[in-house]
Amino acid sequence: ENKNMSSLQFVNAKADIIRKAQALAVNVNAAKGLQEVLKTNLGPKGTIKMLVGGAGQVKLTKDGCVLLHDMQIQHPTAAMIARAATAQDDIVGDGTTSTVLFIGEIMRQ
């Protein structure tokens, strides 16, 4: 009975490691996704994004803060990155897109 218990724990330990790696991958992918959306906004040649609301209202913007406020971000990690970036904008008045790109690069590494 003891042997079965220890091998069961061993299998669970490996399963926990796999789950940790998968959780990390999911969180890194969320950061990459947000980064991919905003990276084309950066700089004077950044592209304008079109946001369409549920009632069909259209908003054109290049402002990272506006995009992050109006995007319906579901993933907790992406939402936390968006909150950090909008806090940057609230305090300094700029740098939302740069903050998202910076955090995305840190998460990649």
User: 78-93: per-residue pLDDT in tens?
Assistant: 999 999 999 999 999 9
Please state the pTM of the whole predicted model. 0.76
Would you place residue 104 in the very low, low, confident or very high pLDDT band (cuts 50, 70, 90)? Answer: very high
**Which parts of 10-107 are beta strand (E)?**
49-52, 58-61
Q: Which tokens sit at 47?
A: 């592209």
- pLDDT tens-digit profile of 29-50? 999 999 999 999 988 888 999 9
Cβ atoms within 10 A of the Cβ of 4, count? 8
Asked whether the beta carbons of 99 and 85 are under 8 A apart, the reply is: yes
Q: Which tokens sit at 53?
A: 């609301």
Residue 31 parent element (H or E): helix 2-39
Q: Give the CA distances from residue 108 to residues 26, 39, 42, 55, 89, in Å, rounded to whole numbers and listed in that order.
A: 12, 14, 19, 36, 23
Query: DSSP 3-state assignment of 28?
Result: helix
